């Protein structure tokens, strides 16, 4: 089958890596000539935000999908119209692309998410302080999001269409990955806990399964169920959640694609998010997602003050550790905050896992 993916980054690379155990032809498009997918697929250098580029790329594929949500959806609608299978539906990609539509989607389908105000420009702001401002478009990896704490911060409010959202008193950041195939079969992965690095605003650790109560698990199951019904589309979705200190779960945002919060499934679950997404693309029976124990993930992110040809210090020490799995993304150049790879870790207890993650973080540095 000819499978086309918009985006040629690490998510696409790991998708194709896993799917090399099946017989398909993979096609990717990315603006970067040396994108992580370039050497392992039929690669087109092009702009996935450009109508013509996406339309030309999509023609003749059996299935078309994404590994990044900021793509030209008009072309996807057109390709779908012409009979090409697009997963997930362009409608849900469009909804998620725009923070305002995404927020209205949660409201419409009674999916719990924080109170909000929609503004087209700065002058419309009348939301009680403190709050979060999320730009309608252009946000990615924590960019396009800021916290407005007080009157003084209000001066920095971006003068663009945005969602203003009340701050959640966060106990934990959680994520659930849910998949649905065209036959309507759905399956979730165990809930993952994300321990963030406030400085880079990128995920830092994942811990799976999350340490949560039965009640919290029930709330999350209900949200996943509501979301997948409302999205009305085959696909694999990562729902990012806040658990507040009163024990209530809120949706922060959703990604209509493979997600950093699912990377530890490569080594810690009966099947990974990459296998599951492959099965969605081909409408195959969904895979079992059972965790084999405690698993965790640590992002390898370019250190501050280093730019250029990447070097991974301490990696050999890490490779000596049992049940520790290094995943690099085939990127030759590092820069501060760039996601260069991750390390998955397995352990027999949550405590042992955390200890191992912290130890590994102290060993390895992404420099140049």
Q: Taking the CA of residue 288 as centre, how many other CA atoms within 13 Å lie in the half-sphere pointing to its CB? A: 4
Q: Is the C-alpha dihedral spanning 288, 186, 173, 304 positive or negative?
A: positive
Separation CA 23–CA 1 (nearest Å): 8
- List, as residue ranges, the binding site for ATP: 99, 134, 165-168, 173, 252-253
CB of 316 to a second copy, least distance (A): 6
**22 or 140: CB nearest a second copy:** 22
Question: Which amino acids are annotated as binding site, given as ranges?
Answer: 99, 134, 165-168, 173, 252-253
Nearer to a second copy, 72 or 299 (CB): 299
Nearer to a second copy, 172 or 279 (CB): 279
CB of 78 to a second copy, least distance (A): 29
User: Of 30 and 173, which CB lies nearer to a second copy in the complex structure?
Assistant: 30
CB of 6 to a second copy, least distance (A): 20
| Closer CB to a second copy, 90 or 341, in the complex | 341
Closer of 118 and 328 to a second copy (Cβ): 328
Q: Residue 319 is encoded by which pair of tokens? A: 């490779």
Between 21 and 108, name the residue whose CB sits nearer to a second copy. 21
Say how far apart CA 120 and CA 125 lie, in whole Å: 9
Return the structure tokens found at 8.
């040629």
Task: Tell me the CA end-to-end span of the chain in Å, nearest whole number.
Answer: 40
How do 324-328 and 339-347 pair as beta strands? antiparallel
Q: How many helices (H) and strands (E) does the chain have?
A: 10, 22
- Residue that the structure tokens 């949550």 belong to: 350
| 54: its two tokens | 């996406």
What sign for the dihedral angle of Cα 119, 120, 126, 129? Answer: positive
Q: Nearest distance from residue 362's CB to a second copy, in Å? A: 18
Q: Calculate the alpha carbon distances from 37 to 115, 153, 160, 219, 333 in Å.
A: 40, 41, 34, 37, 15
Give kind and range of the element (H or E) at residue 203. Answer: strand 202-208
Q: How far is the CB of 363 from a second copy (least distance, A)?
A: 13
Point out which residues bind a second copy (CB under 8 A).
Answer: 13-14, 17, 20-23, 39-42, 270, 279, 284-285, 287-288, 290, 292, 310, 316, 319-320, 322-323, 325-332
Distance CA 29, CA 50 (A): 11
Handedness of CA 281, 283, 285, 286 (dihedral sign): positive
Nearest approach, Cβ of residue 330 and a second copy (Å): 5
**Nearest Cα residue to 160 out of 112, 191, 197, 124:** 124
Tell me how far, at minimum, the Cβ of 79 lies from a second copy, in Å: 24
């Amino acid at each position: 089958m000819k499978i086309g993916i918009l985006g040629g980054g690490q998510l696409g690379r790991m998708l194709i890596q896993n799917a090399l155990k099946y017989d398909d032809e993979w096609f990717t498009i990315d603006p970067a000539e040396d994108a992580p997918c370039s050497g392992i697929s039929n690669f087109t250098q092009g702009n996935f935000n450009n109508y013509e580029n996406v339309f030309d790329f999509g023609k003749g594929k059996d299935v078309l999908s994404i590994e990044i949500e900021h793509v030209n959806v008009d072309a996807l609608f057109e390709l779908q119209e012409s009979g090409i299978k697009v997963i997930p539906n362009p409608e849900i990609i469009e909804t998620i692309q725009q923070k305002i539509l995404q927020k209205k989607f949660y409201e419409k389908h009674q999916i719990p998410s924080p109170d909000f105000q929609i503004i087209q420009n700065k002058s419309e702001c009348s939301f009680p302080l403190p709050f979060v401002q999320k730009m309608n478009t252009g946000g990615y990896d924590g960019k396009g999001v800021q916290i407005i704490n007080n009157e003084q911060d209000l001066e920095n409010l971006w003068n663009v269409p945005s969602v203003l959202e009340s701050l959640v008193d966060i106990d934990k950041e959680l994520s659930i990955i849910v998949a649905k195939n065209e036959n309507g079969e759905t399956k979730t992965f165990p809930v993952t806990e994300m321990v963030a690095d406030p400085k880079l605003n990128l995920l830092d650790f994942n811990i799976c399964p999350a340490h949560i109560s039965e009640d919290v698990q029930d709330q999350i199951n209900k949200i996943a169920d509501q979301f997948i019904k409302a999205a009305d589309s085959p696909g694999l979705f990562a729902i990012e959640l806040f658990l507040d200190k009163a024990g209530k779960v809120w949706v922060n945002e959703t990604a209509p694609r493979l997600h950093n919060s699912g990377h530890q499934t490569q080594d810690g679950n009966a099947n990974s998010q990459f296998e599951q997404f492959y099965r969605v693309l081909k409408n195959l029976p969904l895979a079992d997602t059972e965790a084999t124990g405690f698993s965790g993930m640590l992002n390898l992110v370019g250190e501050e003050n280093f730019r250029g040809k990447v070097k991974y210090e301490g990696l050999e020490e890490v490779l000596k550790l049992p049940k520790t799995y290094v995943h690099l993304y085939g990127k030759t150049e590092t820069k501060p905050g760039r996601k260069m790879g991750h390390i998955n870790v397995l352990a027999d207890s949550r405590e042992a896992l955390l200890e191992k993650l912290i130890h590994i973080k102290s060993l390895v540095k992404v420099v140049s």
